[in-house]
Amino acid sequence: DAGVIQSPRHEVTEMGQEVTLRCKPISGHDYLFWYRQTMMRGLELLIYFNNNVPIDDSGMPEDRFSAKMPNASFSTLKIQPSEPRDSAVYFCASSLDRGVTEAFFGQGTRLTVV
Amino acid sequence: QKEVEQDPGPLSVPEGAIVSLNCTYSNSAFQYFMWYRQYSRKGPELLMYTYSSGNKEDGRFTAQVDKSSKYISLFIRDSQPSDSATYLCAMSFNTGNQFYFGTGTSLTVIP
């Protein structure tokens, strides 16, 4: 398996534009997580899914953020409209059910909003 | 107060030194304690984990958990330049799959 695949690796966009980040989890994993990482706040959990169902979205900062998981092999995180303070590295991770010790992370998407 | 606190560093040590990285936490219900390593411009990768209290050793790495003090440590012996990375502690409960991460400590091992 190629691991968790995220696209794009880098995204530069203008304030107010819509941004869509994509993730393909490891096949067979039941959980999918979206994290945001900044120097100031570290790794923050935004939302996670279990079997394609959103379980906890309390980390989503505002209504401008939304996430979907239409099937077991694909998830998106959308920001609309984007703002400069959304600039961060966004990671997708997946884990097995009862995988309380290991989440497998993708390479991340580095988002810059200018 | 965050659930998991970690000194961000940065920490710079000479090659061969013993490194000590630490985290404190507030929720006594945490059962699994993990250390992730993150190289620059990469995603975090699990280094090792411990269940409940005690020590665990893996090569040059030793993880310690002191639940009475709500304190965990990672020791790196004979540190190498390849150990230069950010180290994140993480914790989880006995049920569910939510991970709680520290902010990470940046480590540089100087040859």
Strand B11-14 and strand B105-110: the pairing is: parallel
- pLDDT score at A79: 97
Greater model confidence, A104 or A100: A104
Looking at A72-81, B48-57, B61-70, which range is the least confident one?
B48-57
Among the partner-chain residues B32, B95, B104, the one whose CB lies closest to the CB of A101 is B32
> CA-CA distance, A79 to A61, in Å (whole number)?
10
Name the β-bridge partners of A104: A94
Listed residue (B8, B53, B30, B12) closest to A101, CA to CA: B30
Which residues of chain A lie closer than 8 angstroms to B65, CB-CB? none
Provide the CA B36 distance to its chain's centre, in angstroms: 6
B10 pLDDT more than 80: yes
* pLDDT tier for residue B95 given thresholds of 50, 70 and 90: low
Comparing CB atoms, the residue among B32, B97, B103 nearest residue A42 is B103
More confident residue, A34 or A61: A34
Whether residue B2 is predicted with pLDDT greater than 80 in this model: the reply is: no
Whether pLDDT at B8 is above 90 = no
pLDDT at A13 over 80: yes
pLDDT of residue A101: 67
Listing DSSP states for B23-70 in one string gives EEES-TT--EEEEEEE-TTS--EEEEEEESSEEEEETTEEEEEETTTT
**Chain A neighbors of B49, CB-CB under 8 A:** 101-102
- Average pLDDT of the residues in B57-69: 95
Q: Does B97 touch chain A (CB under 8 A)?
A: yes
Looking at this protein, which amino acid is placed at residue B25?
Answer: Y
pLDDT at residue number B1: 63
Q: How far apart are CA B72 and CA B13, in angstroms?
A: 20
pLDDT at residue A99 greater than cutoff 90:
no
pLDDT tens digits for range A57-95: 999 988 999 999 999 999 999 999 999 999 999 999 998
Q: How far apart are CA B27 and CA B81, in angstroms?
A: 34
Closest CA to B38 of B93, B96, B95, B90: B90
Residue B97 pLDDT exceeds 90 = no
Asked if A38 contacts A90 with a C-beta cutoff of 8 angstroms, the reply is no
How distant is the Cα of B107 from the closest Cα of chain A, in angstroms? 14
Q: List the single range of A3-7, A36-40, A69-73 with lowest mean pLDDT.
A: A36-40
Buried b or exposed e, range A40-56, using 16+ CB within 10 angstroms: eebbebbbbbbeeeebe
Burial label, B92 (beta-carbon count in 10 A; 0-12, 13-18, 19+):
buried
- Using alpha carbons only, give the angle A79, A82, A84 rounded to the nearest 5 degrees: 135
Min distance A17 CA to chain B CA atoms (Å): 25
B chain contacts of residue A42, beta-carbon cutoff 8 Å: 6, 8, 88, 101-104
